[in-house]
């Protein structure tokens, strides 16, 4: 077993640019006379196109600037947001009607044509659930300025759930002129119809991102609940400040110079919990699934036997002990579709749980004919929840006999580089690590990494597996919970056999904020800054 102290990991990965210490000081006074909420998010924001990447920080940016046709409440029930809907008796036609008062941030009215173009672009993204809906879609068109008509080739029971899903690439609406940008290119402007406006003139990647209240936004009348209900903005500005050094961020929180810290380090939680002016709360009660993803395009992981050897070498406890530390916040789990849910199964994940696969890993690697090709692992040092995984797994793979090239960078560089399909020697990669919400992992369709479409339609790593796609189609057509459970088990079996990705367990991540903030919303896609007030 490999043991890496949390403190050592933080020392290895922390980056403390001197300019950042002053960043929050200037930011706090930048908007004199305005109610400004300052937050340190889980990552720096660099990619601002919410259709271009599955990065959580970009999704969070998307919820600030853009709106969705549908939302989800705390019972996972689909609710109207920008639109209401009807479904034809044969379940082949879905008609969405835009509500009144919708305007883009540039003042133009939101039209059905805008939304049709947005849905079509979203359907070409790397999001597996969006793509699966498009597989069943015969066409999407605007019947008039307020009416969107989606027609299916055959009945598909997850239309509304797909359009309403809270993560990771959401069906955000944008003007047609932006939505017509190919998904392979980032949109040139951040113009949405959401509750906040992005202040492009103040955007400094690596320093801060700024949002101002959209005074033209007309919220729904229902109370805010998860991504549904009224998105009522109660502050004038929200500033996301970049502070890679966790201690700097927490000092700023405790002194009152920062209002909100999304992911404080677990070993620093006791100090925050003892501060009477700070709330420490788990906003996403369903938690997250951490995982490693191999690149199927290039050696050595284009060889399934070598992927299987790597799987045998990895164990969850070593990773979670380094990543989270406190068992109160993590759970060993071999289920691709989340433990303690109807589709949960540990089948195939035995060595991950027990941590007893190293001897078999060494033998399997030798039998696979591994030739010493280096495994290039992308290792972000600025993301608290992603620092540990690459370091620990690199050590485990070396112990199994792999040659490993651990390359340090920031998370947004990982987000950009993981899109590169070239060989590692030309800027590509062999393995990276990420996490996604448990709510985004709970079945074979919503789970964005569980795709077998290869280079042309797959998620980063580009696994190509026709059998997996057949099973996902079968799941989409399944008529009963029992049938879906059986198919999900078969999907898990195939995913472990081909090592589609390596589940590294589940965890919950508390957030911390000053008690001067009220109205902070929980949910599977947090944090959200509407409904939040600041008492100064």
243 has pLDDT over 70: yes
Which pLDDT tens digit goes with each residue over 311-327? 999 999 999 999 999 99
pLDDT cut 90: percent of the chain above it? 90
CB of 320 closer than 8 Å to CB of 504: yes
More confident residue, 37 or 7: 37
Domain 67-179 has CATH 3.90.76.10: yes
Q: How confident is the model over 99-138, as pLDDT tens digits? A: 999 999 999 999 999 999 999 999 999 998 999 999 999 9
Q: Largest Cα–Cα distance in the chain?
A: 69
Q: Tell me the H-state helices in 387-531.
A: 388-400, 411-417, 454-457, 466-477, 481-498
Q: What is the dihedral of CA 56, 61, 67, 73, to 10 degrees?
A: 50
Using a pLDDT cut of 70, give the percent of the chain over it. Answer: 94
Name the average pLDDT for the chain. 93
pTM of the model: 0.88
Q: What are phi and psi of 97, to 5 degrees?
A: -115, 120
Query: pLDDT digits over 396-417, tens only?
Result: 999 999 999 999 999 999 999 9
How far is the C-alpha of 164 from the C-alpha of 68, rounded, in Å? 7
SS3 assignment for 200-246: HHHCECCCEEEEEECCCCCCCCCCCECCECCCCCCCCEEEEECCCCH
- 150: helix, coil or strand? strand
- For residue 154, report the phi and psi dihedrals to the nearest 5 degrees: -155, 160
The Cα 355–Cα 318 span in angstroms is: 8
CATH homologous superfamily of 288-507: Dipeptide-binding Protein; Domain 3 (3.10.105.10)
Q: What is the mean pLDDT of residues 48-60?
A: 94
Q: Where are the domains of the chain?
A: 25-50+187-284+516-534, 67-179, 288-507
Average confidence (pLDDT) over 67-84: 96
Write down the CATH number for the domain with range 25-50+187-284+516-534.
3.40.190.10
* Cα(461)–Cα(294) distance, integer angstroms: 6
Query: Running DSSP on this structure, what letter comes out for residue 129?
Result: H
CA distance 528 to 393: 33
**108 DSSP 8-state letter:** P
The pLDDT score that the predictor gives to residue 456 is: 84
Is residue 21's pLDDT more than 70? no
Q: How far apart are the first and last CA of the chain?
A: 50
Tokens representing 374?
């280096």
pLDDT at 30 over 90: no
Provide the β-strand partners of residue 93: 151
- In the prediction, which pLDDT does 5 show? 45
pLDDT of residue 67: 98
> Taking the CB of residue 197, how many other CB atoms lie within 10 A of it?
21
- Cα–Cα–Cα angle for 477, 482, 488, nearest 5°? 65
Reduced to 3 states, what is the DSSP secondary structure of residue 383?
Answer: coil
Kind of pairing between the strands at 375-380 and 404-409? parallel
What is the three-state SS of 54-101?
A: CCHHHHHHHHHHCEECEEECCCCCEEECCEEEEECCCCCEEEEEECCC
Burial state string for 371-381 with b = 16 or more CB within 10 A and e = fewer than 16: eebebbbbbbb
For residue 32, what pLDDT is reported? 58
Q: Average pLDDT of 384-406?
A: 97
At 98 the pLDDT is 98
- Whether 37 shows a pLDDT value over 90: the answer reads yes
Query: Residues 179-186: what's their mean pLDDT?
Result: 96
């Amino acid at each position: 077993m490999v043991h890496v102290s949390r403190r050592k990991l933080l020392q290895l990965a922390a980056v403390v640019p001197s300019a950042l210490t002053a960043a929050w000081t200037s930011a706090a006074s930048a908007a004199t006379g305005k109610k400004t909420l300052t937050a340190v998010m889980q990552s720096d924001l660099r990619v601002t196109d919410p259709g271009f990447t599955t990065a959580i920080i970009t999704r969070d940016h998307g919820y600030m600037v853009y709106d969705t046709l549908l939302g989800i409440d705390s019972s996972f029930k689909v609710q109207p947001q920008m639109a209401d809907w009807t479904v034809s008796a044969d379940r082949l036609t879905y008609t969405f009607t835009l509500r009144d008062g919708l305007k883009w941030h540039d003042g133009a009215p939101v039209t059905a044509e805008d939304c049709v173009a947005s849905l079509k672009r979203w359907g070409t993204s790397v999001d597996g659930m969006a793509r699966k809906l498009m597989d069943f879609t015969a066409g999407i068109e605007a019947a008039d300025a307020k009416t969107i008509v989606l027609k299916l080739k055959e009945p598909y029971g997850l239309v509304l759930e797909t359009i309403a899903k809270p993560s990771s690439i959401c069906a955000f609406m944008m003007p047609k002129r932006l939505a017509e940008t190919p998904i392979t290119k980032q949109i040139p402007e951040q113009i949405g119809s959401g509750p906040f406006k992005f202040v492009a003139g103040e955007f400094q990647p690596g320093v801060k991102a700024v949002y101002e209240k959209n005074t033209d936004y007309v919220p729904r009348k229902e109370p805010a609940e998860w991504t549904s209900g009224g998105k009522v903005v109660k502050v004038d500005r929200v500033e996301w400040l970049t502070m890679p050094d966790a201690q700097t961020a927490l000092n700023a929180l405790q002194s009152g110079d920062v209002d909100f810290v999304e992911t404080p380090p677990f070993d620093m939680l006791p100090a925050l919990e003892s501060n009477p002016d700070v709330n420490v709360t788990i906003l996403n009660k369903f938690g997250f699934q951490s995982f490693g993803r191999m690149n199927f395009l290039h050696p050595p992981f284009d060889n399934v036997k070598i992927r299987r050897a790597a799987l045998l070498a990895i164990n969850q406890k070593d990773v979670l002990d380094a990543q989270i530390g406190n068992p109160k916040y993590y759970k060993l789990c071999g289920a691709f579709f989340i433990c303690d849910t109807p589709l949960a199964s540990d089948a195939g994940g035995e060595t991950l749980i027990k941590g007893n696969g190293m001897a078999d890993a060494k033998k399997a690697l030798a039998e696979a004919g591994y030739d010493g090709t280096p495994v290039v692992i992308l290792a972000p040092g600025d993301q608290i929840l992603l620092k540990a995984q690459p370091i620990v797994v690199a050590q485990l793979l070396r112990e199994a006999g792999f040659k490993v090239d651990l390359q340090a960078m920031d998370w947004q560089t990982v987000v950009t580089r993981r899109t590169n399909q070239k060989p590692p020697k030309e800027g590509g990669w062999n393995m990276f690590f990420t996490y996604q919400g448990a709510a985004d992992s709970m079945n074979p369709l919503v789970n964005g990494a569980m795709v077998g479409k290869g280079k042309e339609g797959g998620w980063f790593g580009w696994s190509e597996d026709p059998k997996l796609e057949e099973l996902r189609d079968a799941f989409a057509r399944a008529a009963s919970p029992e049938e879906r459970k059986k198919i999900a088990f078969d999907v898990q079996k195939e995913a472990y056999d081909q090592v589609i990705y390596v589940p590294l367990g589940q965890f919950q991540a508390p957030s911390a904020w000053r008690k001067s903030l009220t109205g902070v919303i929980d949910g599977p896609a947090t944090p959200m800054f509407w409904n939040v007030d600041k008492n100064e």
